[in-house]
Chain A
């Protein structure tokens, strides 16, 4: 078993299985064989992430996480799954039945569709679209519609309020998300995720060519991660679903399996955007050092995904929740200018000759506006005497 065979084991298995199928059915069987592993692996990863998150948050907060079910509590997702399946499905009588039913389905559908263009390993992408990145952002915009449907159909004030906040937040952060990845499109000249990863899979003196190791790539990565955290409604941007504030916001009227579907959709969205961040900035399935390329490519992808998930959990345990206006200010007044400056910096990097000068110039061009914007935004926040305006 050469390292190459282990690396391509899934591709080889799929081709071998396809040999047994008559050629008329081969396209559809090929599609099924590509899609089924995604449908199996990522919900499993979701189950592991829920228990990791609860135990991780527990340890961060100086307590044990769940440790009763299974060895050290790691079978907790099984118990959670049984609970959510057997809970009574309560639907408010005045709720819009059809829309109420379809909202979680649309969310999970949009979340799953996002995996179609992620290259999980070498030659392991479901479909290599020429406009793959555009497809991902188009699918991401369907999530907002699902969130709105969920909040509207419950016909409850809290859910409607939560839905409005959630949609406003997701729309605002979609722009920095897309603009942060525009830098990558500029650098690689292609919208295809496979091409982007392949451009990063080269090594100079055993160091990789990942885009995160350039000033504009690093800034783009940070901006992308912040926008991705906001897009999946995750702490510290989880005001729409803040448990202590609006009691779960737009999915307050959902119980049992539909609630679990919302949870699943949210986490799947988080994995998909993390996967995209890995593809765009962290080199996809390529190894960090050239002497480590014998490790299979899919293992690297999942390792990087696990690291990003741990970072998400870490940030969730650390930062307090942002208020709605602080959220929006961050998106429009800080991140949008920063992404535009980042694009300009990336262009400068492209046109300057290689050397220490372009490192200094680009870093300065990114750091100075960042500091200026944050200090400038803080200036206007002097504490004032509160004045009240009463309704006439």
Chain B
């Protein structure tokens, strides 16, 4: 029929229009900031420092080995090693970072610092709502802003965090001083006569 294409098109758009009020699954828009799209587990944005326990400064896993600072490609990590030592999670006295700054306006989220850290102390965060009003001061994150608890790490990357926890627990079990062996049971070996 002449004009059929136009009429079918008009019917289609009318169906779209009225259907969008009736069935909600026609509208795939996610209304940010009221709703958020679900993130996949491997999403990452900028690094953060993991701490165990409740005290952010005492429980920091970082021992200020400075490997991440050396490996960072755009050199956005600035660490100052402390002069004294404090005990770590196992009890061994370790250095700690007196200053740990990351310039997130420079950081390119390459994750190299995470890959080289031998202590599982720095991991990738996925918070992206980091708008600030100043370009230089507010985008330099210091130790207080970077320290986040291990529970938070479990929230954002559950699989990774479980693996890290298991590895750390195994390492601590191996490193812990062995308990004294139980007194030897009287053996049945014949005494030398």
Is A130 close to B, CB under 8 A? no
Contact present for B28 and A314 (CB under 8 Å): no
Contact in complex: B16, A62 (CB < 8 Å): yes
Stretch of A7-15, A53-61, A189-197, A382-390 that contacts chain B? A53-61
Q: Contacts A319-B6, A370-B2, A374-B2 given: A63-B29 contact, CB under 8 Å?
A: yes
User: A59 with B10: in contact, given A64-B27, A64-B29, A371-B2 (CB under 8 Å)?
Assistant: no
Does B138 interact with chain A (Cβ within 8 Å)? no
**Residues of chain A within 8 A of B31, CB atoms compared:** 64, 67
Hey, which chain B residues are within 8 Å of A374, CB to CB? 2
CA distance A352 to B27 in the complex (A): 54
| Residues A60 and B29 in contact, CB atoms below 8 Å apart | no
Is B21 in contact with A314, judged by CB distance below 8 angstroms? no
- A59 touching B2, Cβ below 8 Å: no
Number of A residues with CB within 8 Å of any CB on chain B = 17
Q: Is A288 part of the contact surface with B, judged by Cβ < 8 Å? A: no
CA distance A62 to B23 in the complex (A): 11
Q: How far is the CA of A41 from the CA of B16 in the complex (A)?
A: 31
Contacts of B17 in A (CB 8 A): 56, 59-60, 314
Q: Is the CB of A62 within 8 A of B28?
A: yes
Say whether chain B's binding surface is mostly helix, strand, loop, or mixed. helix
- Give the interface residue-count category, chain B: 10 to 19
Min CB distance B23 to A, Å, is 10
Q: A59-B20, A370-B2 are in contact. Are A314 and B14 (CB under 8 A)?
A: yes
Residue of A nearest to B3 (CB): A374
Output the nearest chain B residue to A236 by Cβ-Cβ distance: B6
When the two chains form their complex, are residues B16 and A59 in contact, meaning their CB atoms are under 8 A apart? yes
A59 to B29, CA, bound (A): 11
B25 shortest CB reach to chain A, Å:
10
Contact A318 B10, beta carbon cutoff 8 Å: yes
A152–B13 CA distance with the chains assembled, in angstroms: 38
Q: B27 touching A62 by the CB < 8 A rule?
A: yes
B27 touches A63 (CB 8 A): yes
Which residues of B111-164 have CB atoms within 8 Å of chain A's CB atoms?
A: none
**A-side contacts of B26, CB under 8 Å:** 62
Cα A384 to Cα B16 in complex, Å, equals 37
How distant is the Cα of A56 from the Cα of B28 in the complex, in angstroms?
A: 16
Min CB distance B16 to A, Å, is 5
Residues of B within 8 A of A60 (CB): 13, 16-17
B27 touching A319, Cβ below 8 Å: no
A242 contacts the other chain (Cβ, under 8 Å)? Answer: no
Asked if B9 is at the interface of the complex by the 8 Å CB criterion, the answer is: yes
Task: Give bound CA distance, A293 to B10, whole Å.
Answer: 32
Is A317 part of the binding interface, using a Cβ–Cβ cutoff of 8 Å? yes
A213 to chain B, nearest CB (A): 20
Chain B residues with CB under 8 Å of chain A are 2, 6, 9-10, 12-14, 16-17, 20-21, 26-29, 31
CB-defined A-B contacts under 8 Å, sample of 20: A56-B17, A59-B16, A59-B17, A59-B20, A60-B13, A60-B16, A60-B17, A62-B16, A62-B28, A64-B31, A314-B10, A314-B13, A314-B17, A318-B6, A318-B9, A319-B6, A370-B2, A371-B2, A374-B2, A375-B2
A59-B21, A62-B28 known; 11 other A-B pairs, CB under 8 Å? A59-B17, A62-B27, A63-B29, A64-B29, A64-B31, A315-B10, A317-B13, A318-B9, A319-B6, A319-B9, A374-B2
